[in-house]
Amino acid sequence: MPLFQPGCEPGPGRPRGSYGGRHRVLQLLDDLFAREENLEKLREALQSEFDADPPAFWRRYGAPTIPAAALVAMMPPAPDPMRELYASVVVAMETARNQAEYEAMLRGPLERANQLEGGGESDGHD
């Protein structure tokens, strides 16, 4: 008998409708934030924290919402001579690789053109 059959539940696990602790905590937070008076208290608390120290507020609440890749891209590069050397080597290697790929791509048509110019093959249109 196959393990999974069409129309059957996939197997043992948490019964439908039952929830774990994390789900219950998130539901509690949703319930708290759904009440307008709680949102107003939160708004006031956040405003007072912001007023006390805006940069700290940003580091605590704003910065974590930005993807790490975006933060790294916004940072100025560290002054590192090895970084510049590495970058120039990478560019040189990429240029050489692109040149080799370009030459390989053209090699077949160029050889065919050289053969036709030298009379090596007939193109069938005599």
Q: What is the pLDDT of residues 16-48, one digit of tens each?
A: 777 788 888 999 999 999 999 999 999 999 999
Say yes or no: 63 and 88 in one domain: no
Residue 42 within any structural domain of the chain: yes
Residue 90 within any structural domain of the chain: yes
Q: What's the pTM?
A: 0.40
pLDDT at 30: 93
Residue 35 within any structural domain of the chain: yes
Rounded (10°) angle between helices 36-52 and 21-34: 90
Residue 87 within any structural domain of the chain: yes
Residue 60 within any structural domain of the chain: yes
Say yes or no: 83 and 94 in one domain: yes
Residue 6 within any structural domain of the chain: no
Residue 88 within any structural domain of the chain: yes
For the chain, how many structural domains are there in total?
A: 2
pLDDT at 47: 96
∠ CA 95-96-100, nearest 5°, is 120
pLDDT at 79 exceeding the cut of 80:
no
Residue 58 is given by DSSP the state I
Give residue 50's domain range: 20-75
Residue 11 within any structural domain of the chain: no
